[in-house]
Chains A and B, each alone.
Chain A
């Protein structure tokens, strides 16, 4: 076995090559970590957004998009009275009639940005218990309440959307009355307005959906039965968790695109890295042949070259991990229905380390095999 310091010192022979190898591997690892973290973040927020205890009553045929759904305004009261197992507090049943409305919002500074506005009554707080008002009050007529990450989704500064700020919707000025948190869910990127206001602003009498909170998720069958029996209401019942699960599936192509983009950039960096390693190994063909003439086997030399590249790639991994923590961890990324936070957790770090180790192990093989291939007499004559 060749000593490890042989591999380590070889790395320092050409500082520019070393920097290229470390830089290339750091780029690949950073991209993989970013792709994993973004995918995880999107999955996490969509998974956390739906509760299995909540049932969404949607218009039949609109199961894929609550925004396209039309539900009669009277359906909320009928459902509250007709579905057993709905949670009840102080004599009030947890039933939330809602309008989900996507439109451009006029923002402070004259900017306009597309927002998801949810028209709600105070009952919404019963069916979405994760929502906590962190500042101000629940909106009344002429007011809205903003999720604490809505500013990110809207592409404005955090300070532009605080209690007292003015926004406009369809020419109507609305005051931000409160800020709410709903940790880890897409709700945090929404704007909530009073249901009555939204009936007017969206020029619709119907609701988008009715959300019910059950005492026991198993009571979903009751809600489903109700939707199927009340043909006059043209309703379809879905578990809220299933609805967001469906959205997760809907966003799968986006996640695949993230991987493809990361993969394309990474493959360029991998090829560059292999080329750099080839140049590094090719300059030592005679030395490798000398070591073979002394009695070291090709396998031993291959292992030493792999050690060398793995050491460089793991150094790149270390830098990429530091960059990921500094540049990505905690960042909020907007997407069409909300935003999510990127977290560089242990599994993302593990994905990075495995990528770095694989790069070092597999990346060294093609150039190493090629440089160990020439017959010894010819290799010993190479300059």
Chain B
């Protein structure tokens, strides 16, 4: 059996809040195979976003191991994590987080500015990514000139343009109408199925979770059920 794309063992995150220690995630074990589209559900404060932040290298665990594509990112320094994120992760936010002063094209180009690609290669990749999300005709529009669904598709194009192996999405359809949400979910499913991307999506919406290959539930920092595929 191939090594999983994501492998967490005894993954724990705690932090101090005043005099008390808060532990949003405690001794969590999780395996996610490459190319899987995984949905994480759970009530507010269950640790979904904390787990997503750990998986994407935005935050570091307090204890345990966290291997992504065979690399234990729990051991990386902040600077190394920054470089690692640029190579391996695409992050999709609920509120898109596009840079308002840049056009759709320029927003999507951002991750490629960290690579050694030539301008021509960058432009070709941006055009491909925007075509893939169906926004080839909106390249010169700034976010304020796009609808919410279009903005989220630009954000997805930005997340995939550098060809990362892992996509993490925090409530990607949470701020969209039903049609736009369905289109985004189709897009994410296609990225996993046709392009082999591993996707971890946090959602409160059961319909969104239904689009995923597997859904896991988090509660009080613990995954309910077996998240490692053990029989």
Contact = CB atoms under 8 A, between A and B. Distances in A.
Contacts of B113: 1-3
B158 interface: yes
Interface string A1-26: 11100100110110000000000000
A375 B111 contact: no
Contacts of B91: 293-294
Given A287-B97, A377-B53, 7 more contacts: A6-B99, A13-B101, A292-B82, A293-B58, A294-B86, A296-B110, A376-B53
A295 B111 contact: yes
B114 interface: yes
A294 B58 contact: no
A293 B85 contact: yes
A129 B86 CA distance: 75
A3 B106 CA distance: 9
Contact of B111 (A9, A287, A292, A294): A294
9 shortest A-B CB distances, which residue pairs? A295-B86, A9-B101, A290-B97, A376-B58, A295-B85, A377-B53, A295-B114, A377-B59, A293-B91
Contacts of B56: 293
Interface string A286-307: 1100111111111000000000
Contacts of B100: 13, 287
The interface centre, meaning the residue of A12, A297, A298, A376 with most chain B CB atoms within 10 A of its CB, is A376
B102 A290 contact: no
B194 to A, nearest CB: 24
Chain B residues touching A, range: 20 to 34
Contact of B58 (A287, A291, A377): A377
A291 B99 contact: yes
5 contacts: A1-B113, A2-B113, A287-B100, A295-B83, A295-B114
Interface string B90-109: 01010001011110001000
Contacts of A286: 97
Interface string B192-209: 000000000000000000
Contacts of B79: 297
A380 interface: yes
Contacts of B158: 294
B59 A375 contact: yes
Nearest to A381: B49
Interface of B: 49-50, 53, 56, 58-59, 79, 82-83, 85-87, 91, 93, 97, 99-102, 106, 110-111, 113-114, 158
Given A6-B102, A10-B101, A295-B85, A290 B111 contact: no
A376 B114 CA distance: 19
A286 B58 CA distance: 13
A380 B93 contact: yes
A296 B93 contact: no
A294 B49 CA distance: 17
A291 B110 contact: yes
Contacts of A6: 99, 101-102
A12 to B, nearest CB: 8
Contacts of A13: 100-101
A1 B112 CA distance: 10
A112 B36 CA distance: 95
Given A3-B106, A380-B58, A290 B93 contact: yes
The interface centre, meaning the residue of A6, A13, A293, A296 with most chain B CB atoms within 10 A of its CB, is A293
Interface string A340-383: 00000000000000000000000000000000000111001000
The interface centre, meaning the residue of A3, A286, A290 with most chain B CB atoms within 10 A of its CB, is A290
A380 B93 CA distance: 9
Interface string A258-292: 00000000000000000000000000001100111
B154 to A, nearest CB: 13
A294 B59 contact: no
Contacts of A2: 113
A232 B26 CA distance: 103
B82 A295 contact: yes
B146 to A, nearest CB: 16
A376 B58 CA distance: 6
Contacts of B83: 295, 297
